[in-house]
Amino acid sequence: MFTRFCNYLSALTHIPEQFIRFLLIGSLNTAFAYGLYSLFIFIGLHYALAIFFSTVIGIFFSFKTFGKWVFFHSGNRRLLRFFAVYAIGYFLNVGILKALTAGGITNLYLAGLISSFLVAMCSFFLNKFFVFRKD
């Protein structure tokens, strides 16, 4: 069913199916990590610990879901590369936000939205050609 839905969206939008899978699974991953963060806050963890634990668990969850549903790889030997992509994404996100705010976009919500889209595009290509490339 997921495959048919992605095929339909791809045909409708002319966006490659794999990128649609990436966006949909990425949305699931974001919801999962946010849910964990919310749970940790609810049970009384300090926000710094809540962010840390939800990020670490979220990275492992994302690795499995991206591997299985987007890039069709199920092994764990690419995990270190996946962590590297997350690190690159973090620094890229901070750099883009800094550039956008220095360029006059002072609304951090808008800047964050723009940055998230750009980082997602880079993340897709890094995952496709570095982490989950066909060996």
User: How confident is the model over 14-73, as pLDDT tens digits?
Assistant: 999 999 999 999 999 999 999 999 999 999 999 999 999 999 999 999 999 999 999 999
Q: What percent of the chain has pLDDT over 70?
A: 100
Please give the pLDDT value at position 135.
75
Tokens of 85: 């992509």
Task: Enter the pTM of the model.
Answer: 0.86
Please give the pLDDT value at position 127.
95
Asked if 61 and 88 count as a contact pair (C-beta separation under 8 A), the reply is: no
* Mean pLDDT across the chain: 93
Q: Please tell me the distance from the alpha carbon of residue 24 to that of residue 19, in angstroms, as a whole number.
A: 9
